[in-house]
Amino acid sequence: MGIRALGDVLIAAVEAFAFYPYCLLCERRLGRGRDLVCADCWEALPPAEPQWLRGEDSDFQGPPARFSARFSLWAYSPEVERLIHLMKYRNRPGLARVMGRRVACACSHRFRGERGIIVPVPLHRARKRERGYNQSELLAQELAREIGWSLVAEALARVRPTRSQATLSREERAENVRGAFVVRRREAVQGKRCILVDDVVTTGATANECSRVLLEAGAAEVMLVTVAAA
Ligand SMILES: [Zn+2]
């Protein structure tokens, strides 16, 4: 084998390791251009039932939803939970982009041709610094790109650090987020239809609180888009 051929083999081997990662769910080797998860695993993720819901039909058993409609792409299966965990806690901003594209493609037909703004649920400053990114903002960027609405990433701020909602009851969740958010970009929100973007909706406490402050600041309507519904 000549030097050049040997070089080609080495480059191919390095490329294979560097650019052909494994599926995050089944650990099969991915082909070039695959989005972190193999086609079979994407296909197998269960859609939320239903994916679209009017706010008034959201079954949170608590106060009525302040958002008028909600879209969630997937149900909260163990595989979806794993992807969301990787996206939030294992430094995988790329996964947020990939999932954001999937969410955007699945719901864009409802928003295209209309106008409004896209608002990610913010992290507290300290949390964002620690994580390095806000996954909801990355999801929102992909939605903005797909439907052409303006992303207003700083519209909301989380002014009070909140405990993780995961282990809290419905009442505790609502209490935990009360007063946690403020509108920073009032002029950007006034009179606008808003799509609020978050990773998961569970009891709707976070989405409801964000919707409440957006509506109080003069937003015309708030709709919710999430990756998953638990
Ligand atoms: Zn797979």
The secondary structure of 166-217 as a DSSP string is GG--HHHHHHHHTT-EEES-HHHHTT-EEEEEEEEESSSHHHHHHHHHHHHT
Find the 182 Cα to ligand 1 centroid distance in Å. Answer: 40
Find the 76 Cα to ligand 1 centroid distance in Å. Answer: 17
Find the 142 Cα to ligand 1 centroid distance in Å. Answer: 23
**Domain ranges across the chain:** 1-44, 45-229
Q: What whole-number distance in Å separates Cα of residue 47 and Cα of residue 223?
A: 19
Q: Which of 59, 61, 38 is nearest to 48 (CA)?
A: 59
Give, in order, the Cα–Cα distances in Å from 24 to each of 48, 119, 163, 213: 21, 28, 28, 37
Find the 69 Cα to ligand 1 centroid distance in Å. Answer: 32
pLDDT beneath 70: ranges in the chain: 1, 11-20, 59-62
Find the 216 Cα to ligand 1 centroid distance in Å. Answer: 44
Q: Which of 182, 177, 175 is nearest to 217 (CA)?
A: 182
Find the 192 Cα to ligand 1 centroid distance in Å. Answer: 40
Q: What whole-number distance in Å separates Cα of residue 198 and Cα of residue 48?
A: 15
pLDDT of residue 12: 63
Preceding omega of 50 cis (within 30 degrees of 0):
yes
Q: What whole-number distance in Å separates Cα of residue 104 and Cα of residue 143?
A: 5
- Per DSSP, the residues of 120-140 read EPPPBHHHHHHHSS-HHHHHH
Find the 41 Cα to ligand 1 centroid distance in Å. Answer: 4
Inter-axis angle of helices 135-147 and 93-107, nearest 10 = 40
Find the 100 Cα to ligand 1 centroid distance in Å. Answer: 18
Greatest CA separation for the chain:
73
Q: Give the architecture-level CATH label for domain 45-229.
A: 3-Layer(aba) Sandwich (3.40)
Find the 139 Cα to ligand 1 centroid distance in Å. Answer: 21
Q: pLDDT tens digits for 26-44?
A: 999 988 777 899 999 999 9
Find the 36 Cα to ligand 1 centroid distance in Å. Answer: 9
Q: Which of 136, 199, 134, 203 is nearest to 175 (CA)?
A: 203
Residue with tokens 């991915």: 30
Find the 28 Cα to ligand 1 centroid distance in Å. Answer: 6
Find the 42 Cα to ligand 1 centroid distance in Å. Answer: 7
Find the 95 Cα to ligand 1 centroid distance in Å. Answer: 14
156 three-state secondary structure: strand
pLDDT of residue 164: 80
